[in-house]
Chain A
């Protein structure tokens, strides 16, 4: 089980639009039609839940479930998007989540890219063994050590503070893997030349490697932001006070409180998904490259 075993199967994905030279030419017209039919069908299946979410969020509560099903809101009830702010602590939840996501992303990008440089570019005894410890954690789900982690955090008086979420998310191995993969594609000669010029390792990292790795840093930042934004289990275990709730935690308490308010629940869901959806659509390229190059989840 070496680092190369893991990194070989997932090379960086080709630039969008270029679907690789291996793409088979679709020759027959029938095959092409069949392909489109499959695409449309799959897209419909994948999008149906999102369609339902948006449509239901614009219905009055009684119209959500009807026989037969109404697929378009009539009339369109924009009020839900006003009511939700009054009936829930959406503002607090969003503020907490935004704060956490920004801090975690910043720390993960900083420490992850730093550590990755040490693993990718500096040779020293014990390095591979140390990296193996990082790789090994792929096979160890967080669920299996959440109990002792919680005990340690409680001893440190960090549970029920926002810091607990920062701590459990910011030092993961994802950043290290993603950035290491990227640094290894930068030609070693660049660093060699800088070393001859008398630049220290830190100088090389800051002046040469960092400016070159903007796309990879963007990938990592987007992945981390999304992971932290969507995290439900961490906040569930660590954040007990209502004023500390994140959007996922808040939404879920809202759902159990108003479990018959189908339309409002969908409104809350749309709002919780919206920021991540916008970020994803804007930075899609980085997302997809990041995922393809690490094959790892947060």
Chain B
């Protein structure tokens, strides 16, 4: 309509009527969304440049928070740990989810039951999950180390009691929890690949591996991209699992960015400084997503 050479009054009336209708549908949700999500994001960029705390008046301190962050060893530890978690959690979950999806996409008995089972960790609360896994990981009496002992591991790891093994423990639980969720997305993606493609590949004498590489993977490109984006954000914001499982310890061995924001903000009431750290988290998640979208676009064209 907008491309017509001249807008007739009737059209204009239609547009304004639609605008009113459209906005009135969106408004109830948008008001809440704007006040509780958009506004806080904008305010974040103000608070980060102040020394805001619970009681005092906020003073503009310029880049002081960011300069302080640069010299803050704990901040760098938190950042390093977050990257550590992401670097392992993303590929592990991706591989596990894809593997499960391929397995479930076969015509086997019990796949529906298994799909339920795989999704179950995802709907279970973090608190329950963390406390159960902590019992399973118990270094001396837990079943995991008992199992490792049974297969001949002499010196089983201390898991959440050890600074070296606490992060791997958290990564294992994170992967266990989320792989069923991403498996569902892959399963939905697999169902869009036409069966003829597989048949054609088979007549051409392609081995199962070749079919996987030349039919399945290209067919899943969109899904894989989408899953990677979601997984990346999920990894960098990891928080509640770690908070309940290890509390960031032992020492600072599992301290992650989100938890550092929480500590500085809600435990030490340094809202200004915590906001500056928040901006780093924001920039990482937003930046990586934008880069992923750009790379995906280039590959598509």
User: B-contacting residues of A (Cβ < 8 Å)?
Assistant: 1, 5-6, 8-14, 16-17, 19-26, 32, 35-36, 38-39, 42-43, 45-50, 52-53, 56, 64-69, 110-112, 114-115, 117-119, 122-125, 127, 130, 133-134, 137-152, 167-168, 170-173, 175-176, 200-202, 205, 226, 229-230, 232-233, 237, 247-248, 251-252, 255, 262, 265-266, 269-270, 272-273, 276-277, 280-281, 284, 287-288, 291-293, 295-297
Whether A14 and B191, one on each chain, are in contact in the complex, defined by CB atoms closer than 8 angstroms, is yes
Output the least CB separation between B182 and chain A (Å).
9
Which residues from B are CB-within-8-Å of A272? 125, 127-128
Output the least CB separation between A130 and chain B (Å).
7
Which residues from A are CB-within-8-Å of B104? 19
**Nearest residue in B to A276 (C-beta to C-beta)?**
B123
Convert B104-145 into 0s and 1s, putting 1 for each residue whose CB lies closer than 8 angstroms to a CB of A. Answer: 111111111011111111011111110111011010111100
**Nearest residue in B to A156 (C-beta to C-beta)?**
B35
22 contacts between A and B (CB under 8 A): A11-B192, A22-B195, A24-B211, A26-B106, A36-B109, A46-B120, A53-B132, A65-B138, A115-B27, A115-B28, A130-B30, A140-B285, A143-B278, A143-B281, A147-B265, A148-B275, A151-B52, A152-B43, A200-B21, A201-B21, A230-B123, A270-B128
Whether B191 and A20, one on each chain, are in contact in the complex, defined by CB atoms closer than 8 angstroms, is yes
- Using known A-B contacts A65-B141, A269-B131, determine if residue A22 contacts B191 with beta carbons closer than 8 Å: yes
- Using known A-B contacts A38-B103, A46-B121, A148-B40, determine if residue A170 contacts B32 with beta carbons closer than 8 Å: yes
Q: A52-B136, A139-B229, A295-B230 are in contact. List 6 more A-B contacts (CB 8 A).
A: A26-B108, A48-B136, A48-B143, A65-B135, A266-B131, A291-B185
A35 CA to B27 CA, complexed, in Å:
51
User: A-contacting residues of B (Cβ < 8 Å)?
Assistant: 15, 18-19, 21-33, 35-41, 43-44, 47, 52, 100, 103-112, 114-121, 123-129, 131-133, 135-136, 138, 140-143, 146, 176, 180-181, 184-185, 187-195, 197-198, 211, 222-223, 225-227, 229-230, 233-234, 236-237, 239-240, 243-244, 257-258, 261-262, 265-266, 271, 274-275, 278-279, 281-282, 285-286, 289-290, 293
- Using known A-B contacts A125-B15, A144-B278, determine if residue A46 contacts B126 with beta carbons closer than 8 Å: no
**Nearest residue in A to B266 (C-beta to C-beta)?**
A237
Whether B188 and A10, one on each chain, are in contact in the complex, defined by CB atoms closer than 8 angstroms, is yes
A20 CA to B196 CA, complexed, in Å:
12
Output the least CB separation between A192 and chain B (Å).
14
Which residues from A are CB-within-8-Å of B129? 49
Whether B278 and A145, one on each chain, are in contact in the complex, defined by CB atoms closer than 8 angstroms, is yes
Interchain CB contact (< 8 A) of B127 among A13, A262, A269: A269
**Nearest residue in A to B126 (C-beta to C-beta)?**
A232
A38 CA to B114 CA, complexed, in Å:
11
- Using known A-B contacts A39-B114, A49-B129, A64-B135, determine if residue A124 contacts B266 with beta carbons closer than 8 Å: no
A278 CA to B274 CA, complexed, in Å:
39
Interchain CB contact (< 8 A) of A67 among B24, B141, B195: B141
Total A-B residue contacts, Cβ distance less than 8 Å = 341
Looking at chain B's contact residues, the main secondary structure is: helix
Whether A8 and B25, one on each chain, are in contact in the complex, defined by CB atoms closer than 8 angstroms, is no
Whether A137 and B103, one on each chain, are in contact in the complex, defined by CB atoms closer than 8 angstroms, is no
A251 CA to B228 CA, complexed, in Å:
33
Output the least CB separation between A19 and chain B (Å).
6
Interchain CB contact (< 8 A) of A124 among B22, B194, B225: B22
- Using known A-B contacts A22-B191, A143-B261, A272-B125, determine if residue A39 contacts B108 with beta carbons closer than 8 Å: yes
Which residues from A are CB-within-8-Å of B184? 13, 288, 291-292
Which residues from B are CB-within-8-Å of A118? 21-26
Whether A10 and B189, one on each chain, are in contact in the complex, defined by CB atoms closer than 8 angstroms, is yes
Which residues from A are CB-within-8-Å of B18? 122-124
Whether A276 and B282, one on each chain, are in contact in the complex, defined by CB atoms closer than 8 angstroms, is no
A125 CA to B211 CA, complexed, in Å:
46
Which residues from A are CB-within-8-Å of B41? 140, 144-145, 148
